[in-house]
Structure 1
Amino acid sequence: MVSGLIWSAACVLGYGICLLLLSLASIALYRLLFHPLARVPGPKIAAISNVWHAYHARNGGMFELACTLHQKYGEIVRVGPDELWFNSMEAFDKIYSSTKGYDKSDFYLATSLIMPKIDRLLRPHFVDSLDLLSERDMKRYRLQRRLIGRVYQTANVTKFEAAVNDVIKQVIMRLKDLDGAEIDLKEWMHIIAVECLGACVLSWSPGLLKAGTDWGSSGHSYLAWRRKSVMGLFPTMTKLTMCTNLFEWVFRDVWNLKYTAPPNFRSFFPDVGKRISRRIKTAMNPKAHKDRRLDLMADLIQLHKDKPEFTEVYLRKMAMTNFGAGHDTMASTLTAIFTMIGTHNDVQKKVTEEIRGANDPLSYAGAAQLQYTRAASREAMRLHPALTMSLSRRVPDNGLYIHGHFIPGGTTVGCNPAALHRNANIVTGSDPEAYNPDRWLSGDALDVRLMERYSLNWGGGPRTCPGKNLAEMVVYKVVSALFERFDVEVVAPAQIGQPSYYMSMITGAKARFLPVTPLMDEQGSKRIG
C-alpha cells in the first residue's frame, strides 16, 4: 500500500512537471511565433523572457548592447517579450514628445525613493512625495516642475558660481599637492561633484576633498544601480517584493545582486539629511536668527514659504534630490569629458590653447564662449552618456504604428541614449563612433541643432532633468579651470567590457594632473587657484 502511494505521488509529480514544461513551451512558442511583436527583429532568446535582458544588465553589458544591437538588427529591436528599443528620429518624436510623450514604464518602480502601496491586483499607488525620477502621474509631475522652475533657471543657479570657485581652488591645491601622482579618475570626479553640490546646495563641505577619497561611495552607488537595473526588468516580481520580503531572495540570491560596502565605506547622505532637517527646523522657527546663507537650500525654503503647495515633504525631497540625482550623473559626465580629452592629445592641445588664451575662461559666461572646449565636452557626453539603458515608456492603449509594425498598447518602448547618439542620420560628419569635437563646429547650424534635439543626455521630452543648468554650470567651470592649470594624462581601458547598467560610468581610467605655470589676469593676479 505504501509503495502504491509513493507510485501515485510520483505520477502526480511527473504529470505536474510535464504540465509545467508544456506550459513554458507553449508560452515560448507563442512569444516567438504568434505574439503581436513576433515580426520585430531581435535575439530570439530575448523574445522568450526578460531573463536575457536582465542577464546583460546584471553583468554590466548595457553599453555594449547599445553599441551593437541596432547595428545588427536595425532601427527597431525586440529586447524582451514586451519591450522594444528604437534608434530613430521618428520613434524619438513619438515617445518623448514634449506635449504628447508617453508615460514612464513599470521599470521605474525599481527606482522609487518611497515604496508605493501595492493592492491585491498588484497595482502600485504612489504617495505624493516629489520623486521626479519615478513619478508617473504626469499631471502631478508637471505641477511639481512648475513649482521648482524658478529655482533651477540659469539666471538663478549662476549666483552659486562663487561657491563653485571656492571648491575649484581647493581642488587645484589638492591636485598640485599630488605632484602628478596617478589617481582614479572616476573617484576624483565624484569627489569634485559631491563637493560642488555640497557648496551650492548647503554651503557645506562633506570632507571628501580634504580626505582625498570618496570612501567608496561612488562604487557603492554604482552597485545599487546594478540592482535597480535588474529589478526594473521584472516589475511583477518587484511589486511582490514590495509587498513582502519573502520574494527578496529572488534578487538577492538567484540574481546574486547582494553587495556589501567596502571596508572604508562612508556615505555622505546621512550628513546631508541631518543638515537639511536642521536648516528646515531653523527656518520654520520664528524665534531663530535669520540664516544669511545664499544657497540653493535657502531658495527652496523661500519657495516653500511663498507657495504652500510646495509642501515640507516636497522641500525635503527636492533638497535631497540635488545630491541623489546629481552626484553620480555629474561624476559620470566629468569622467567622460576628462577621459576623452585626456586620451586624445590633439584635442587636449586645442582645448588648453583655447582656455589658456582666453580673457575670462573661468567664469560660467566666459566658459560658455570657449567653443572648442564645449564641443569637446559635448562630444564626450554624446559618446558616453550617463544612462545606457532605454529611457523606457509605456505605449498608450490605442497603440503605435511605426516602422511597418503595429505596437499594441502597454508595450514598453524607448531609445537607448548611447545608441541614439550614434545614429548616422542624426550625427553630423563621418563615423559616428569616433570622438570628433569638430562635428559640433564645422557642420551646418541645422546639423548641430539636430544632434541637440535628438540627445538624451538630460532625459527626454517633458522629463528632462530640472538640474541641467546647475550641472552644466559646474561641469563647464570645472573643465575650464582644471585644463587651465593642468596637462592631463589619462590611461583608459577599452570601452567595451566596462560595467555599464542603467547608470553608466567610465571605470578603471587612471589620470595624472601635471601642473603648468598659471596665467595672469589683466591686473597681474593669478586666476583661480
Structure 2
Amino acid sequence: MSLAHVYAGIASLCKLIFQTLTTTVVSVVVLLATIAIYRLVFHPLASIPGPRFAAISSIWHAYHARNGRMAHLGRTLHRQYGPIVRVGPNEVWFDTKQAFQAIYSTGSGFEKSDFYLATALSKPQLNWQMDPHFPDALDLLSERDVQRYRLQRRLIGPVYQTSNLMQYEAAIDSVLERSIAKLKDLKGAEVELNEWMHIIAVECLSAMVLSWSPGMLKNGTDWGSGPHAYHSWRRKSVFGLFPAMAKLEFWHKTAGRLFSTAWGVNFKTPKNFRPFFPVCYQAFSLTHRDDLMLFQEVGKKISRRVKAATRPIPPKDDRKDLIADLIQLHKSKPSFTDTYLRRMAMTNFGAGHETMASTLTSIIAMVGSREDVRDKVTNEVLEAATPTEYSTATRLPLLQALVKETKRLYPVISMSLPRKVPRGGLHLHDVFFPPGTTVGCNPVALHRNVEVFGSDSSEFRMDRWIDADPETARNMERFSLSWGGGSRTCPGRHLAELVVFKVVPALVKEFEIEASIPPEDDIPSYFLSMLTGVKARFIERLPA
C-alpha cells in the first residue's frame, strides 16, 4: 500500500470522526433546545412566573443553594414574581395561606418529595429502575411512607411529651450552671455566638439523653463540629435538587464524589476537628450495656484526642435519661425494634444539635443586637421570681414573644419543605398542578405573608404577638413552618422548647449580652439555616 493511500485513509477516518462528532453535538444541542422550549412553552407549569432559567433546569436552583442564598430567595422571589413562583422545571413555591392548608394539612395526601433522598441515613435497595426501597429504620426526616411514619411517631410520642421531659430539667440546670461559670471566666471577651450556642445545645442534649458530657464545655470548644455539620447541609441541599444523583450515590459512592467535586460542594474538615457522634455511640454502649447490647464497640476506634476530650463515663446506676426511657419502650413494645432504638438514640443528636443551636443563636443575637428587645426581655426576666424554671419561663409574655418572633423571621429551614402532588392533581389559585409536581412553601417567605403577619411582616417586632387579638395570634401560630408542616411537625419540638425556655432566661439573667450580626445577604443559608458570623460578648451582670 502506497503512502498516498495511507494518507487518504487517515483523511477519510478523520472526516468520519469529525462528521460523527458534529452530528452528535448538533443532536445534543437540538435535544437540549427542544427540552428548553418544551419546559418554557408547553410544560404544564409554563404559565407560572419565575426566573426563566429555573424553568429550564434545576441548575439555577442548585446554583443558589450551593452559594448559600436560599434565605435570600425566600425574602425576594415572591416579592418579585408574586404568590406562586416556579423555581425548577417541576417545582413551585407558594407563600399563601391557601397553599399551606392544601399542602401541609393532616390527611392531605402530599408525601415528601425526592429531595429528601439526600438526607437519608439508611442506604436503600435499588431495583433496575433505580427506585429506592428504604428499610424500616426510623429515619424521621427522610421517611416518605406516611403510614410507616405515623406508626413511628405514635410509638415515640409519649417519651417526647413535655410531661415526660420535665424530669430532665435538673440535668439542664446542671449544664447551665457550668455554662454560666465558663462564660463568666471569659471576662466579656468576644466569642463566636454560634459555637457557644452549639456547645450549650450539645451539652444539654448529652445530659438529658445519656446523663453524660462530651467535654465541650470543659474545653470551651466544639472542635469545629458545628461548622462541619452546617457545611454538610450545603452538599445535601444540592444533591436533593438532583434526586437521580442521590440514587447514583446510593449505588456507588464514587458517583457522589464526582458530582460533589463538579459542583464544588465538598467540605474540608475544620482544623482541630473532633466528631462527637462516635463518642455518643461509645457512651450509649458503656452506660447501658447491662440493659441491651445494641452497639458494636465503636469506641475502640475513637482517637486518643477524642477520648481525652470526654468526661469519664460512670458505670450504670439508677439515674434516668431519655435512653433509659427508650430502652423501656423497646422492652414494653416489641414494635419499637432494636433498629428503632439504635436510630432514635442518635437522632436525638443528629436532628437536634444543629436546629437547637440555630434557634438559640438567633434568639440571643436578637437580644444582643437590639437595645429595645434587650431592655424589655431583661426587665421581665429580672422581675420574675424563678425565670429559669420552665413552668415560669413559658408564662413570661415578652420571652414568649421573643422566641416566636425570632423563629418567624429566622426559621431553621430556608428552603421549601417540598411535597409531591398526589393522584388527582392539585387545583390551587386557578391553576392545575399535575400529579408528581413538587410543591411547597419556603418558611422565610411564608412567614412574611402580610395577610397573616401584617403590613410590617418583614420587620422584627415582638409586640405583634403581645398586641394581637386571640384570632390573629392563632392564625400566626397556625400558618407557621417553624416546627415543620402539618403531620410532619418536628417530633422533638417539646424537647427543643424545654432547652430554649431554660437557656435563654438563664443567660439573660446572668449577663448583659452584646452582639453584632453580619448583613443578611452575607450569611450563607441552605436547607438548614443558621446565623453564622455573629460576634457576641457575655458581660457578667453586676448586682443591683
TM-score range, shorter chain: over 0.9
Distance in 2 (CA, whole Å) between partners of 1:279 and 1:510 is 37
Shift of 1:342: 1.2
Shift of 1:339: 0.8
Q: 2:384: which partner in 1?
A: 358
Residues 393-443 of structure 1, C-alpha deviation per residue, up to 9 Å, x if partnerless?
A: 000021101112110100111100111111101114x41111100000101
CA contact (8 A) 1:70 1:87 kept: yes
Shift of 1:280: 4.5
One-letter amino acid matched to 1:409: P
Distance in 2 (CA, whole Å) between partners of 1:283 and 1:382 is 42
Residues 301-321 of structure 1, C-alpha deviation per residue, up to 9 Å, x if partnerless?
A: 110011011011100101100
Q: 2:240 aligns with which of 217, 220, 232?
A: 232
CA contact (8 A) 1:283 1:291 kept: no
**Runs of 4+ in structure 1 over 4 Å off:** none
Distance in 2 (CA, whole Å) between partners of 1:470 and 1:248 is 34
Q: Tell me, what secondary structure is at the counterpart of 2:521? A: coil
Shift of 1:100: 2.0
CA contact (8 A) 1:485 1:518 kept: no
TM score, norm. by length of structure 1: 0.96
Shift of 1:115: 1.6
Distance in 2 (CA, whole Å) between partners of 1:344 and 1:181 is 19
Distance in 2 (CA, whole Å) between partners of 1:179 and 1:245 is 48
Shift of 1:517: 3.3
Q: Counterparts in 2 of 1:195-210, with a 5 A limit?
A: 195-210=203-218
Matched, 1:452 2:460: no
Q: Counterparts in 2 of 1:84-483, with a 5 A limit?
A: 84-284=92-292, 291-428=317-454, 430-483=455-508
Distance in 2 (CA, whole Å) between partners of 1:112 and 1:252 is 17
Distance 1:102 1:518, change over 3 A: farther
Distance in 1 (CA, whole Å) between partners of 2:125 and 2:112 is 18
Q: 1:523: which partner in 2?
A: none
CA contact (8 A) 1:113 1:131 kept: yes
Output the aligned Cα RMSD: 1.2
CA contact (8 A) 1:94 1:101 kept: no
Unaligned runs of 5+ in 2: 1-8, 294-314
CA contact (8 A) 2:176 2:503 kept: yes
Distance in 2 (CA, whole Å) between partners of 1:296 and 1:156 is 9
Q: 2:45: which partner in 1?
A: 37
Residues 425-482 of structure 1, C-alpha deviation per residue, up to 9 Å, x if partnerless?
A: 1114x41111100000101111111111111111111111111001001001100111
CA contact (8 A) 2:188 2:538 kept: yes
Q: Tell me, what secondary structure is at the counterpart of 1:426? A: helix
Matched, 1:7 2:32: no
Structure 1 range deviating more: 222-231 or 490-499 = 490-499
Distance in 2 (CA, whole Å) between partners of 1:359 and 1:510 is 30
Q: Tell me, what secondary structure is at the counterpart of 1:226? A: helix
Distance in 1 (CA, whole Å) between partners of 2:91 and 2:117 is 16
Distance in 2 (CA, whole Å) between partners of 1:111 and 1:82 is 20
Q: Tell me, what secondary structure is at the counterpart of 2:450? A: coil
Distance in 2 (CA, whole Å) between partners of 1:419 and 1:28 is 28
CA contact (8 A) 1:280 1:301 kept: no
Q: 1:527: which partner in 2?
A: none
Q: 1:496: which partner in 2?
A: 521
CA contact (8 A) 1:484 1:518 kept: no
Distance in 1 (CA, whole Å) between partners of 2:522 and 2:55 is 24
One-letter amino acid matched to 2:22: G
Distance in 2 (CA, whole Å) between partners of 1:170 and 1:89 is 44
Distance in 2 (CA, whole Å) between partners of 1:79 and 1:495 is 21
Residues 63-99 of structure 1, C-alpha deviation per residue, up to 9 Å, x if partnerless?
A: 1000000111111100000000110111110110122
Residues 8-38 of structure 1, C-alpha deviation per residue, up to 9 Å, x if partnerless?
A: 1110111011000000000000000000000
Distance in 2 (CA, whole Å) between partners of 1:224 and 1:282 is 35
Residues 359-399 of structure 1, C-alpha deviation per residue, up to 9 Å, x if partnerless?
A: 11110001011110110121111100001000000000211
Structure 1 range deviating more: 235-244 or 70-79 = 235-244
Identity %: 54
Residues 483-511 of structure 1, C-alpha deviation per residue, up to 9 Å, x if partnerless?
A: 01111000111112210000000011100
Shift of 1:249: 4.1
Q: 2:55: which partner in 1?
A: 47
Distance in 2 (CA, whole Å) between partners of 1:65 and 1:243 is 33
Shift of 1:283: 0.4
One-letter amino acid matched to 2:345: A
CA contact (8 A) 1:340 1:380 kept: yes
Q: Tell me, what secondary structure is at the counterpart of 2:467? A: coil
Distance 1:365 1:518, change over 3 A: farther
Distance in 2 (CA, whole Å) between partners of 1:374 and 1:313 is 37
CA contact (8 A) 2:287 2:316 kept: no
Distance in 2 (CA, whole Å) between partners of 1:97 and 1:71 is 25
Shift of 1:290: 6.8
Q: How many aligned residue pairs are there?
A: 515
Q: Tell me, what secondary structure is at the counterpart of 2:245? A: helix
Distance in 1 (CA, whole Å) between partners of 2:33 and 2:189 is 58
Q: Tell me, what secondary structure is at the counterpart of 2:320? A: coil
